[in-house]
Amino acid sequence: DGGITQSPKYLFRKEGQNVTLSCEQNLNHDAMYWYRQDPGQGLRLIYYSQIVNDFQKGDIAEGYSVSREKKESFPLTVTSAQKNPTAFYLCASSIVGGSEAFFGQGTRLTVV
Amino acid sequence: KQEVTQIPAALSVPEGENLVLNCSFTDSAIYNLQWFRQDPGKGLTSLLLIQSSQREQTSGRLNASLDKSSGRSTLYIAASQPGDSATYLCAGLTGGATNKLIFGTGTLLAVQP
């Protein structure tokens, strides 16, 4: 089945730790995105990539980093610089920027 | 800055009713518009995409329209069912170099059996 796979489904982070969220797609999409969702707020864009080895900051990139070494993969690292990382993280992809977007099932990150 | 408002924030209806969800943008320069469904604790499922050259799209009991002149979109759900209960999100693509989707905060729909 084609789709977007995010792992893990749940992730717990200790204070001061970096953690990496995985996002893999087998849809042959060029564009990939990371969003953060908090209760009562709309999705906010963290980073996006429209082509391999290139990515741009979204609206709330501080405390996050990404890489795009392969077309299929767009991992997100939540660094210790992110002071309020507890949230639901969603990865998406589209054929190109601006076409229909498809989402993974999300990773819920909790700071313990 | 583009902002998206969805009205109502929450809605409860009896099974079988037809209903309308609203979405409006502060900047009417929208390239395309996408409606999503989100079940609790889950990712987003794409429902309908209205591209820049279109005014509406239909899929089964769902119909979405876009009025670019006013920056408003509506999602019409016919003959609602308990399985339609979810949060519905609209997202507009404002185009330009970034091609980013801007999301509303959603409408929480409960369809009572």
How does pLDDT run along chain A (112 residues), one tens digit per residue?
679 999 999 999 898 899 999 999 999 999 999 999 998 788 999 999 989 999 999 999 999 999 999 999 999 999 998 989 999 999 999 887 667 899 999 999 998 8
Cα of A72 to nearest chain B Cα, Å = 19
The reply to whether A108 touches chain B by the CB within 8 Å rule is yes
pLDDT single digits (tens) B9-32: 999 999 999 999 999 988 777 778
pLDDT single digits (tens) B28-63: 777 789 999 999 999 999 999 998 788 999 999 999
pLDDT value of position A99: 79
Give the residue from A9, A35, A103, A109 with the most B CB atoms within 10 Å of its CB, the best one to mutate.
Answer: A103
> In the predicted model, what is the mean pLDDT of chain B?
91
**Which own/partner contact pairs does A78-85 have at CB distance under 8 Å and 24+ positions apart?**
A78/A13, A78/A18, A78/A19, A78/A20, A78/A21, A78/A109, A79/A18, A80/A15, A80/A16, A80/A17, A80/A18, A85/A13, A85/A109, A85/A111
